[in-house]
Amino acid sequence: MASVYLCLLLFAVLPASSSSLRSESGDREALLTFKEGLFDTSGSLSSWNSTDTNYCQWAGVTCSIRHPGRVVSLSLPSRGLDGSISPAVGNLTFLRALDLRSNMLSGEVPRTIGRLHRLRQLVIQNNSLHGEIPQELGNCSNLVDMNLAANQLQGRIPDVLGSVSRLQYLNLTYNNLVGGIPASIGNLSSLVFLSFYQNNLEGTVPEVLSHLVHLQFIQVARNNLSGTIPPLFFNISSLQILGFGSNKLQGSLPPDAGANLPVLKELHLGNNHLSGMIPSSLANATNIELFSLARNSFQGRVPPEIGTLCPLRVELGGNRLEAEDDEDWEFLRSFTNCTRLQLLDLNSNILGGVLPGYVANFSRKIEWLSMAGNHISGVIPPGIGKLVNLVDLQFAGNNMQGVIPDDIGRLQNLKVLLLQENRLSGQIPSSLGNFTRMLTLALSYNQLDGSIPRSLGNLERLTSLDLSSNRLSGVIPDEIFTLSSLTDFLSLSGNYLSGVLPPQVGSLKHAARLDISRNNLSGNIPEAIGNCESLVYLTLDNNFLTGGIPKSLGNLRALSILNLTRNAFSSSIPREVSKITGLQQLYLAHNNLSGSIPLMLGNLSALVELDISYNHLDGEVPSLGVFTNLTGLSLLGNDGLCGGISELRLPPCQVKPHSKQRQQLLLKILLPVAIIVICLSLLLSLFLLFKGKTKVSRKKIDSLRMFDDKYPRISYNELFQATDGFAPASLIGAGKYGSVYKGNLSLPVSRNAATVAVKVFSFHQACSSRSFMAECEVLRRVKHRNLINIITSCSSIDSKGNDFHALVFEFMPNYSLDKWLHLGADEQWHKLSLVQLFNIAVQVADALDYLHNNSQPSVIHCDLKPSNVLLDSDWTAYVADFGLSKLVGESVDQTRLNSDSSIGIRGTIGYVAPEYGEGGQVSVAGDSYSFGITLLEMFTGRAPTDDIFREGLSLHLFSEMAFPDKISEIIDPTLLQAQPFNKDARLDIALACITSAISVGISCSKQDPLERKSMKNAAAALHKTRDLVLEYFV
């Protein structure tokens, strides 16, 4: 009986034992196959030996106690494993946890993982896995944690993931997933953590997700989601992190948005298209640490209750938030009680009024404070130096006045200081030299004077220094050039700096940009400049530099732009420049260069713009590269050039005879010619003197000398031929003092027939000669990218013996701004776009700002209007017609020269400042008025002389009455129709930008000259608005 029982027992047990052995053997084989697909460079799997049957002791392997020999966990995080995940992992059917995070795994996620029905944790984040998320993962019904973040997964999120009902943690961050968020995710009622951060998801946020009442963390930022934020998200009381930033979401926040978020720590809604007011109820989220609504379209005042939140970080920049008085700034006072505040960002809003001084009472823990790009006035708060932990301080782009406080030097942790585009005055404090950790220092576009402190040489970590467009004078300290840490740029342009460039400039070995243009530098460029091998951008134009162009510039192989225009360089163009293989733009115009053009310049394939006009170059013009690009090449003002491509119309180059023979030949030819010319000149002079045929006075002769021989002279006959005898068909404009003709003129400088505009002053008008000389005087002195460029001049007698005065300018193919503002009904041309209008407005403002503040002496235009704003083929604006201009501080005789006793009003009706009509003194405020009227005309489409403006109503009053709430009713109705606006927040942004421009126009055209906005401030305001236009509409 016992033997029978034993046989039955063996019969029952043996099959089970055999099955168990087969399963154990299967897990071991699966592990070894998994290892075969990997490159174990770190030896992490050295214990995985095929001869070792005790695989449960292998590194990273855990076996079940209940089911001996069955693998329940495979955990190999951060082991440096390379290769792919073998499909054999799907044979580990008892597996509950698979953790392969932070390796270098590639390939696809095996579909066989879907066979692991017991799997609860799948963590394969931070690898390089690609392909789609397998649909089979939906079979892992026991999954609680799925983390596939930081891979390169593609395709859509499978709907089937919504069936993994026990899932609590779903992280698909940092992938390349597309499509929409599946509504089925709303079925995961146990979900606590949900992140789709930084993918390419689009569509709306499913409303059903807001029913996940256990959510603590939701992050879907940095996608392309649109629509609105479902309001029920703000009722999930368990939320700690709410992140919808950097999408295309719109709409407003519910009024009770913060009423049910008691444990919320971070609110990320920045970089969207959200609008409306900021709900004061958000102040109820008392545990918040990060509060970000930046770069949206929120408007109105900041609720004062927000200041009671006391978060660590407050990000409200890039909205339309307003402040005008102390009450509006009250929210800021509340922040002075926040002892843990680290960051406050209010930049790029429309905050105005005087900055409260209690800003200096913020927590000393604050590290980042930005109020840049607003309309804030007042001074930099005294005591700002108490905020000793500040790392980043930005007040740029406001209307702040006064001096830079000396105690700012106490901020020794400061790395970024941006104070540019204000009205700061006084000297740069030497205490700025205490910023030994400073990386970026920008003080440009202010009214700072005095010298550059030598202490700035202590900023040994500085990467960018911008002191441009101030009133700095004196010699540039050598210490500035020894800042070898400068890797971005050094800009000192637009000041009154003098002296020479020292050899120490060669220490800027890592700087990418060096701009010292528009100063009073003299002397030679040191050869040491060739040590600045990282330079990409070198501009030294508009100085008084002399000597030869250094050959060492050929060492600057990274150089892309080289501008040495308007100096006094002599000698020849060094051949070494041809070694700069990446050179794209080379400007050497208006110097005293001689010799021939290096032929190798034609081999620079990257060179697309070359301007060597108005030098003394001669010889053959190359026929390769940039020399075949007529639009990017300028050779004007070089009489001795020959050859080149036929389109240049230069004379052919002659074969040079032997030098001795040549000298003899020249002597034989020139001597008789010289004698004949001298005799004829004497006879002609005597004839004109005694016959009284010449009416050219000493003042008229002086008017030509004003040009200092910078421009080639041209005869009456040449202009007569160029304009077809001043034919009516060539007439393109006429004014009080003369007419403008279109012509084709072959200048000695290039021999190619260039299209030009010839302004002929009428001899019938008694004051036309004065207007001619006034314009000559101004054009001699000024130089700016948005002022009309003169090509040549003519002062002679015409065929009837009358005085003849003419100026020749570059022809503007798009004529004047006036033409485009008031197109006739039958004209089939397009209206100017919003971007074009703002570009033109900024360029005209920059030109007037230059005339008023940076020209020496200052110039008052006195006749600004749309017809005197010319447009080239690229729609760049040029201010023209200086016939009525006045030089500030000019002598009595010169004042008479520029005056016109026959006119009671200096300017044009409608655009002329009202005080001029009452005999008031000419001032820069008059130009501000004309600019303001022009600006209003640009955006309303109405000229100041339209029939509507009568009985006390003016264009200024018309605009002021509509500002700001009814601006949409007065703007040019065709303006918005001509724009490619979508039906979204971009239309609101466009209206806001136009409103800002009209605000500038109103401020400039006030009745009282003392109340008008200066051109410097007008230009700064328009620059900020134009930047917003470019951001959204280009």
- Catalytic residues, which ones? 863
β-pair partners for 466: 442, 491
Q: Is 319 exposed, middle or buried (0-12, 13-18, 19+ CB in 10 A)?
A: buried
Strand bridging mode 803-810 / 790-797: antiparallel
Per-residue DSSP letter, 455: G
Number of C-beta neighbours around residue 871 at 10 A:
21
Residue 956 near residue 937 (C-beta atoms within 8 A): no
Coil, helix or strand at residue 842: helix
∠ Cα 572 576 577 (to 5°): 80
Per-residue DSSP letter, 368: E
Residue 984 near residue 250 (C-beta atoms within 8 A): yes
What tokens does 842 get?
A: 């900024």
Q: Is 715 exposed, middle or buried (0-12, 13-18, 19+ CB in 10 A)?
A: exposed
Write out the DSSP string of 777-789.
Answer: HHHHH---TTBPP
* Contacts of 917 by beta carbon, 8 Å cutoff, 6+ apart: 904, 905
Q: Is 244 exposed, middle or buried (0-12, 13-18, 19+ CB in 10 A)?
A: buried
Give CA separation, 517 vs 469, 504, 520, 907, in Å: 10, 18, 9, 33
* Contacts of 265 by beta carbon, 8 Å cutoff, 6+ apart: 240, 241, 287, 288, 289, 290
CA gap 493, 540 in Å, rounded: 8
Write out the DSSP string of 162-193.
Answer: GG-TT--EEE--SS--BSPPPGGGGG-TT--E
Write out the DSSP string of 371-418.
Answer: --SS--BSBPPTTGGG-TT-SEEE--SS--BSPPPGGGGG-TT--EEE
Residue showing tokens 């280009």: 1034
Strand bridging mode 38-40 / 81-84: antiparallel
Coil, helix or strand at residue 433: helix
736 is in an annotated binding site: no
CA gap 910, 924 in Å, rounded: 17
β-pair partners for 745: 754
**What residue type is assigned to position 830 of the chain?**
H
β-pair partners for 464: 440, 489
CA gap 28, 566 in Å, rounded: 81
Write out the DSSP string of 554-605.
Answer: GG-TT--EEE--SS--BS---GGGGG-TT--EEE--SS--EEPPPGGGGG-T
Span between the terminal Cα atoms of the chain, in Å: 97
What tokens does 366 get?
A: 């604050």
Question: Which candidate, 811, 942, 816, 813, places its Cα nearest to that of 867?
Answer: 816
CA gap 141, 120 in Å, rounded: 8
CA gap 921, 462 in Å, rounded: 47
CA gap 342, 339 in Å, rounded: 9
Residue ranges of the annotated binding site are 759
Residue ranges of the annotated binding site for ATP are 759
